[in-house]
Structure 1
Amino acid sequence: MDLTSDAIAVGLVASGAPAPRLIYANTAFSELTGHEQEDLLSMSMDELFGDSPQVSIQNSVAQALEKGHQKFTLKAKLLRPGNTSIWVSISFFFKEVANADAWHLCATFRPQVETESAADLADQFQRERDGAIKEQQRLVSALNAYPDPIVIFDTNLSLVYWNDGYAAAITDDPNELVAGTHLKDVLRLAIKYGRYPEAIGQEDEWVNRILSSDTLDSEIEDVELKGDVHHRLLRSRSSNGDYVIIRLNSTELVRQKRTAEAAQERLLAALNAYPSPFVIYDSNDCLVVCNDAYRASMSNGHDDLKVGMHRTTVARIAIRAGKIADAIGREEEWMSDAHQQSDVDKPVQDLALPNDVHHRLLRSRAENGDLVILRLDTTELVRQRRALEDTQNRLISAIKAYPDPFAIYDADLNLVIWNPAYARSMTKSPDDLTSGTNLKVLLRNAAMEGLIPAAIGREEEWLEDYYSPDLLAPGVEDFEFADDQHHRMVRSRTEKGEYVVLRLNITEVVRQRRAVEQYSKRLEKANQEITYKALHDDLTGLGNRRYLSLKFDELVDLRSKKGGEIAALHIDLDRFKHINDTMGHAAGDQVLLDISERIRRNVESADVVARIGGDEFVVLIYVPKDNDRPETLAKILLQELSRPTLFEGKECRFGASIGLARTPLAHVDQLLTNSDVALYKAKRRGRGQLGIFDKSDLEEVRRTKEVADDVLRAIEQLEFEPFYQPQVDARSGQTVGIEVLARWRHPEKGILAPAAFLSIATDLNVAGDIDRLIFEQAIGECQQAFGRMSNPPSLSFNVSENRVNHNEIDAIRHYVQTYSGQISFELLETIFLEEQQDDFLCRLDQLRDLGIAIEVDDFGSGRASVVALQRINPDRVKIDRRLTALAAGGSGGLRLLRSIIEIGHSLEMGVTAEGIETNEQAEILAKLGCDRLQGYHFAKPMPYQDLLKFFNLKSGVLCGG
């Protein structure tokens, strides 16, 4: 409390004590009172006010306790040394001390300006009176500005106040309304000017009805005026008895109600046209609405089912009509409450009807408790399923008769299905093999029984080396069993996660699997045809593309009728593919569900939200008048979609880019296309950006496409080539390594650096192709130039995250083996090293197994933390050129560089400094501990022929060692 500028004191109020005793005072309180802090702690609070009769802290506390208050305020003169005083405002609050008959009293003292004269009081009263008049004038102005009518009558129904809106609603001449006019005369004046068509011809009866107590006491009344105008009157009485009447223009609401009623009629007509049964029961299980198909499925007469009829009554009608095959012969059991309730609790139920007809019931509860039931005719599907089961039974019989081994394991590697040949190959007691036996147990038994030659004499050691949880992952393996039996095992995995193991007769197995897959595709196609009209995404529940198209047409129609504009927000998640690749599709699905919910929370009910791709969403907004809601929503979503999602205890980090296009700047027919253009514009700026469509963007897209086409052509024409920049040993000055860089030898523009093409190549997903061309060409050239050296220079290549994947390992292995020297991969700063999962680290280990060293580029300014370095354990780190420039900049820069180099040394890594431009920088960084140096001071990046000349100049150094 000593840090606050407010004067604060704390007292202890003991039961029976004469006054609260000070136990604490802060510095500000000491300065305000003029007493030293230690002197204050010997005083009571009442002593601060002398003999002033207006202040008694003890009495104030007692009164507050009696009223049940814990806070109160006082204003009083505070005495200061030297007979001076000051007016203060005091805010008190107190709290009972636990296990004691006492309270802690905390007070905050604030100085006040003292009013000392009657003239001052008079001036203050006049100011307050003038302020009240201004407030009243402001209120009258505000009420006159209110567009709807407002009027006040006193208890005698005499006119007291009215605004301009009320005057316009009553008369063409506002001067005819004067204060004191009785309500009866006001009404007759309105009739005179034709304001109430319904009163014409029955003026007296109409006026008497309005003046009746029933009408005056009614709080709400709807009236119709001429020209199909509708008003809602809101009546209330103030505390002094005045009648307050406010009119609200409800014309649009009345017209919307008519539209809704017409829409409801169309909906009922559509339901009757729907060929499958459809019904809604309310929360009390009483019939609300059903279509003709439902009536036909439950009764023999169209009028047998009545609105309000209980669901069990409808069921009895269906039983009597013979519509429910399962109930025949056991009607009462089927009609029991337990049976009925169990059916209601089933969201999906299959029914067998007479004549081998089958229906599927889909039940769901609306938010208001309504039970919605939809029937689908599944007769053809049931018959197809029977045929499929027959086929499957025959397939299982064929598998058991199959002469070669066949088995299926579940997702936990427990045996599910096997044929006799498989049992005989895995155990000498095939009849004892049981379902659920784990693969590891089965392998151990086969090894112990001598069925696996490679395991004889080292059974447990072989099992530990051979077995892994991924042993049954899809693939092919040649395996030798006892008696010189060799099988080719082909492993695959079903959609349910089960593993299928086939041996030897691969041709027949492939044909069977192809037949099963074709049948599955036909079944899937049939299912897609049944659900063809579905409008929503299965995962997120958002609309799909067809839904978006339908809603877009509706908004276009609404715009043509009522004006306004349409805005489209095209949302694309940043780094979503990274989540799928590193954490799995389950994590990706969780992110999509979370993203969908965040979008739902921030849009309005009238907005249209759709998922149109893997990580792409579109929001359509109808803007009835010119406002910035679309831009505001886009900014909110950018912030909302930047928060991580938690999946299995790990954070999934991502972001979003949003493209916004809105009419009339974007033509309505091109709105969605232009929002996509704006999205591309946002992504070009970087992650988490908002791009707003502009006419100039179309020209930018055209130019970008030209560059993209040129990049694709250049890849085909092999115009990308490696440039080489030497690296020298910091102590000896010898050239010990070369960094390989990508350059584009453009036929018209000359040599282009990556800044001219890398972003476009990344967007086209061909950056990996360029990396591959540079890698393969550089390996060939350098092997030709340095392959015969006893210690050829090392080669380092910049690689993106996509380059470090399993699919590239085999190709990389081939080229690595063709070069005699060391090869290093530099992980670029664009890789989020600290967020990488174990799979990424496994791929790095695979590269190390090939003899490739791992380096981290731009250390000190990129995305690699010390924690990430410990996980990745690279062989070398490269200090960013921007930090290298600090070498000659003073002690602060040297301390930073020394710390970074010491981190590298402590983790047993080599340290390279790049961007060396002066001899002074080179000498300083060598003394600080960098073992390699690179930069323009030694050599610029150069093509292959210039590299040969460079080494010819240095041949005495290189070859002499």
Structure 2
Amino acid sequence: MSIDTEHFFAELIRSTDAAIVGWGEDRSVQLWSPALERLLGYREDEALGRDGKTFLVDPDPLGAIAARADVQTRLRHRDGSIIDVLLRAYPVAHPITTGPARPVAVWAVLHDITEQKRRERLAESTARRLAQAQEMAHVGSFEIDLVTQERWWSAEFWRILGLRASSTRPARELHLAVVHPDDLAAVGAQWERLDRGEPGGEIEYRIVRPSGEVRWVRTRATVAISELSGHPVITGTTMDVSDVRDAYRQTFQAERSFQAAFQRAPIGMAVVDLDMRLQQVNPALCAITGLDADELVGAPTSALMRPNDPAATTFEEELPHDPVKDVSVEREVTRRDGSSVWVAAFMSLMRDEHGEPAQYFLWVEDISERKRQERSLVHQAFHDPLTGLPNRKLLTRRLERSLERARRTGQQAAVLFIDVDEFKMINDSLGHGAGDRLLVELTQRLASVLSSSDMLARFGGDEFVAVCDHADAEDADRLAARIAQVTASPFVLGTQDVFVTVSVGITMATGHETISAVLRSSDSAMYQAKATGHGQSRMYTEDIHERATAKLTIASRLGRALEREELSVVYQPVVRLSDDRPVALEALLRWHDPERGPVSPLEFVPVAEETGLIVPIGEWVLRQALTQITTWRTTLPGCQGLGISVNVSGAQLRDRGFAQVVADAAEKADLDPAAIHLELTESIIMEDIEDAAGQLERLRAVGAQLAIDDFGTGYSALAYLSKLPATTLKIDRSFIEPLARDASAVTILRAIIDMARAAGLTTVAEGIETPSQKAQVQALGGELGQGFLWSRPLAAEDVPGWLAQHR
């Protein structure tokens, strides 16, 4: 090219309004038009010679230049902003020169399309939000050009029909193919109206997806002239209303569009601007708040979330400084009419197409019923279902507060442990229904003597606990007296008047105790009260603690006594009064503690019964006694018929497997079960006479003899003996001791012996210590005796010698 031509080309570049750039073969900038300077902000002297990649935002587009392709790319302005351009490149076969040593291999014209791209991105964002909104609302849309018959279905429309957009093109036949046969006529009629240019209206019908699933949809369509083509175009929406129809059939029967779905939603909804003011609300939100829409729109969110609790925070306070996070709150709010409603509100940030915060969307749900159910569940968790009183869990919480208050103020709290005396007898005799009615009425009576600041709780079964703050010992004693007074009158249970007493244990708590220690001490005091007689109360003292500690020590050491071979069995003879010859031996348990020495059975046997240790210990005594008597029966002359008596506890009697234990022990000892006499106190039998009778029958079936021990200390009624398979009646020593000085004692003993004989029972008089007592018992018809007159309990090694002297 000649110099004039080059000059002409350079002048042309400088004078044109087109943004032109030229690159050399090394992709350095060799040409930079003034228009390009205005576009990117770089002067020609700043741009020339620089690498062309300097101005690019996207990956290098120059590879597409060789094909003369139009490339849309982004360039970076000198101020850092991004400019969208359309780059149209023209490769030069022979580089041209635009100035000294500036050969141009490629030159290109750049068109600023920033505004066009902005509109495109806005359209894409709008389409995306529309698609998301359609998916969320289960609303698909479609368009049909009635002239060209071109059809467009949205992605949600395809999904609603259960079809894949990539598998086929939109077609009316494709739509009608999924319409339920029973609804085909109605849908066809709608299409006919639309084809005639008439409004299609709204129709609900069923579709059958290819999977066989049947769904309800609502289609609304109309015909309008397109602003783009000028053709009549059918525009419509189809909404999947299956779930809505099932859950809110009557609510959603009217005509509906996407906006109508917002308006008719059963959950309160609102659009909130970034200043936390309501821009749009639906009727459900108005119903929940009790406010009209015109009162809410434009108002701050606090207008609808005015909490009942003044200390509660508002939405504005709940919002984090970073508005990206969602907000969820629950509040009890007051409507305009003064009524309260619990609401759960959830607010989420919505962003615009640039990702910038645009507005909030608010959901508000009436959760009053859920809260009512929650309160009911909480009440059930912390209250007794029968009496409605606080249960043990709530009692523990109250005691925690009471102890803390007592510790802080220095004022004691009184804790009363209340137990119904002989409640089991009421249940067994009148039934559990009567027992429940008694507890309900007892609750009312106990509550009547307590103040509103006191707590009465049901601890379990027939046990109650009362907690009284700011009380002293005199207050507690007066309260115990009032409790005794209100329980003195009879309880009417059906047609029967039942008299009930309660035992009360009292602890004065200073606040420095643990909850368990307070309850334990009150319980111990209650048992001490019960031990002194029914209807009594006792204040907890250190001696009660010492006795309880001693009992715990006994229980602990007794648990190891068996394995350490600290237990032993002694034997006391039972003799025939007519000739003083022994007929049996009673096995008696003894305990020699290495530290304490001999421990009285009166001290350790009740502990064994309370702890359940009596069962394994009792079985051990049984096996020891049976083995020993077998040895004496087989090795000592004249002792072949000697029997053995063994005491049985209530826990053993209640054990369904006890009869088998006796049978196994007899078999292992090679002893005739008829030689075994099992002694049970009448109080044990009367705890549940029906159950006891059944167990005694099983023991008799094994072959063992049954004796009722300590007769006269409990119910002292022979009427029940006819129900029991007993063979022997042991008369308590309390009937023997006064014979010499009390004529009435003789009369009573004669009656017992006569009635026992009438019932076919052999009698054994316990506690005979003098010849005179023996003679009196024998004169009254007594057959057997036992006592110090013949022998104290003997160690096993001393029994053979005694038997040799008395057989």
Instruction: Normalising by structure 1, report the TM-score.
Output: 0.43
SS at match of 1:669: coil
In structure 1, how many angstroms separate the alpha carbons of the residues matched to 2:624 and 2:500?
Answer: 36
1:843 aligns with 2:706: no
1:815 aligns with 2:665: yes
606 and 532 in structure 1: CA distance in 2 versus 1, 3 angstrom threshold: closer
- Is residue 278–residue 374 contact of structure 1 (8 Å, CA) maintained in 2? no
Deviations 1:259-281 (A, max 9, x none): xxxxx964995999997797999
Q: Which residue of 1 aligns with 2:143?
A: none
839 and 905 in structure 1: CA distance in 2 versus 1, 3 angstrom threshold: same
Q: Which residue of 1 aligns with 2:681?
A: 828
1:735 is displaced (CA, Å) by 0.9
Deviations 1:286-305 (A, max 9, x none): 86322233xx69xxxxxxxx
SS at match of 1:856: strand
SS at match of 1:662: strand
In structure 2, how many angstroms separate the alpha carbons of the residues matched to 1:847 and 1:654?
Answer: 35
SS at match of 1:570: strand
In structure 2, stretches of 5+ residues that fail to align are 1-306, 319-327, 347-361
Q: Which residue of 2 aligns with 1:856?
A: 708
In structure 2, how many angstroms separate the alpha carbons of the residues matched to 1:292 and 1:771?
Answer: 65
In structure 2, how many angstroms separate the alpha carbons of the residues matched to 1:847 and 1:270?
Answer: 74
Deviations 1:373-410 (A, max 9, x none): 72569xxxxxxxxxxxxxxxxxxxxxxxxxxxxxxxxx
1:852 is displaced (CA, Å) by 2.2
Letter of the structure 2 residue corresponding to residue 953 of structure 1: Q
In structure 1, how many angstroms separate the alpha carbons of the residues matched to 2:701 and 2:720?
Answer: 21
Q: Which residue of 1 aligns with 2:475?
A: 629
830 and 270 in structure 1: CA distance in 2 versus 1, 3 angstrom threshold: farther
Q: 1:374 aligns with which of 363, 372, 375?
A: 372
Letter of the structure 2 residue corresponding to residue 814 of structure 1: D
Letter of the structure 2 residue corresponding to residue 630 of structure 1: A
In structure 1, how many angstroms separate the alpha carbons of the residues matched to 2:650 and 2:492?
Answer: 23
In structure 2, how many angstroms separate the alpha carbons of the residues matched to 1:795 and 1:589?
Answer: 45
Q: Which residue of 2 aligns with 1:796?
A: 645
Q: 2:615 aligns with which of 757, 768, 772?
A: 768
Q: Which residue of 1 aligns with 2:341?
A: 290
In structure 2, how many angstroms separate the alpha carbons of the residues matched to 1:679 and 1:877?
Answer: 37
- Is residue 878–residue 914 contact of structure 1 (8 Å, CA) maintained in 2? yes
926 and 593 in structure 1: CA distance in 2 versus 1, 3 angstrom threshold: same
Q: 1:784 aligns with which of 631, 651, 660?
A: 631
1:655 is displaced (CA, Å) by 5.8
In structure 2, how many angstroms separate the alpha carbons of the residues matched to 1:726 and 1:267?
Answer: 84
Letter of the structure 1 residue corresponding to residue 700 of structure 2: R
In structure 1, how many angstroms separate the alpha carbons of the residues matched to 2:528 and 2:717?
Answer: 26
In structure 1, stretches of 5+ residues that fail to align are 1-263, 298-320, 325-352, 354-358, 363-372, 378-526
SS at match of 1:804: helix
904 and 560 in structure 1: CA distance in 2 versus 1, 3 angstrom threshold: closer
SS at match of 2:398: helix
859 and 642 in structure 1: CA distance in 2 versus 1, 3 angstrom threshold: farther
1:646 is displaced (CA, Å) by 8.0
In structure 2, how many angstroms separate the alpha carbons of the residues matched to 1:270 and 1:543?
Answer: 32
1:813 is displaced (CA, Å) by 2.4
Q: 1:868 aligns with which of 683, 699, 720?
A: 720
Deviations 1:31-74 (A, max 9, x none): xxxxxxxxxxxxxxxxxxxxxxxxxxxxxxxxxxxxxxxxxxxx
SS at match of 1:292: strand
Q: Which residue of 2 aligns with 1:921?
A: 773
Q: 1:611 aligns with which of 449, 458, 461?
A: 458
Q: Which residue of 2 aligns with 1:432?
A: none
Instruction: Normalising by structure 2, report the TM-score.
Output: 0.50
Q: Which residue of 2 aligns with 1:677?
A: 521
1:931 aligns with 2:783: yes
- Is residue 643–residue 655 contact of structure 1 (8 Å, CA) maintained in 2? no
In structure 1, how many angstroms separate the alpha carbons of the residues matched to 2:313 and 2:406?
Answer: 25
In structure 2, how many angstroms separate the alpha carbons of the residues matched to 1:671 and 1:800?
Answer: 34
RMSD: 4.4
Deviations 1:665-720 (A, max 9, x none): x4443465144224324424615442312345444444333322222221332322
In structure 1, how many angstroms separate the alpha carbons of the residues matched to 2:312 and 2:609?
Answer: 53
Q: Which residue of 1 aligns with 2:564?
A: 717
Letter of the structure 2 residue corresponding to residue 544 of structure 1: N
- Is residue 418–residue 503 contact of structure 2 (8 Å, CA) maintained in 1? yes
Deviations 1:640-683 (A, max 9, x none): 668897889899998644321114xx444346514422432442
1:759 is displaced (CA, Å) by 2.7
Structure 2 counterparts to residues 91-106 of structure 1, below 5 A: none
SS at match of 2:684: coil
Letter of the structure 2 residue corresponding to residue 878 of structure 1: K
943 and 676 in structure 1: CA distance in 2 versus 1, 3 angstrom threshold: same
- Is residue 279–residue 289 contact of structure 1 (8 Å, CA) maintained in 2? yes
Percent of paired sites with the same residue: 25
Structure 2 counterparts to residues 214-225 of structure 1, below 5 A: none
850 and 592 in structure 1: CA distance in 2 versus 1, 3 angstrom threshold: farther
1:603 is displaced (CA, Å) by 2.5
Deviations 1:442-468 (A, max 9, x none): xxxxxxxxxxxxxxxxxxxxxxxxxxx
Taking CA–CA contacts closer than 8 Å with sequence separation of 6 or more, which of the two structures ends up with the larger relative contact order? 2
In structure 2, how many angstroms separate the alpha carbons of the residues matched to 1:650 and 1:810?
Answer: 41
719 and 580 in structure 1: CA distance in 2 versus 1, 3 angstrom threshold: farther
SS at match of 2:579: coil
265 and 644 in structure 1: CA distance in 2 versus 1, 3 angstrom threshold: same
1:898 aligns with 2:744: no
In structure 1, how many angstroms separate the alpha carbons of the residues matched to 2:735 and 2:498?
Answer: 31
SS at match of 2:760: coil
Q: 1:734 aligns with which of 581, 600, 603?
A: 581
In structure 1, how many angstroms separate the alpha carbons of the residues matched to 2:430 and 2:662?
Answer: 25
- Is residue 570–residue 587 contact of structure 2 (8 Å, CA) maintained in 1? yes
1:829 is displaced (CA, Å) by 4.9
In structure 2, how many angstroms separate the alpha carbons of the residues matched to 1:852 and 1:376?
Answer: 59
Deviations 1:167-190 (A, max 9, x none): xxxxxxxxxxxxxxxxxxxxxxxx
In structure 2, how many angstroms separate the alpha carbons of the residues matched to 1:644 and 1:832?
Answer: 27
Structure 2 counterparts to residues 553-702 of structure 1, below 5 A: 553-556=400-403, 559=406, 564-573=411-420, 592-593=439-440, 595-623=442-470, 626=472, 628-637=474-483, 656-663=502-509, 666-670=510-514, 673-684=517-528, 686=531, 688=534, 689-702=536-549
Q: Which residue of 2 aligns with 1:241?
A: none
In structure 2, how many angstroms separate the alpha carbons of the residues matched to 1:655 and 1:717?
Answer: 43
- Is residue 609–residue 620 contact of structure 1 (8 Å, CA) maintained in 2? yes
1:951 aligns with 2:792: no
1:926 is displaced (CA, Å) by 1.1
Q: 2:397 aligns with which of 550, 553, 557?
A: 550
640 and 708 in structure 1: CA distance in 2 versus 1, 3 angstrom threshold: farther
Letter of the structure 2 residue corresponding to residue 813 of structure 1: A
1:906 is displaced (CA, Å) by 2.0
Letter of the structure 2 residue corresponding to residue 792 of structure 1: G
The count of aligned residue pairs is 468
In structure 1, how many angstroms separate the alpha carbons of the residues matched to 2:724 and 2:567?
Answer: 31
Letter of the structure 2 residue corresponding to residue 634 of structure 1: A
Which structure would you say has the larger Rg?
2
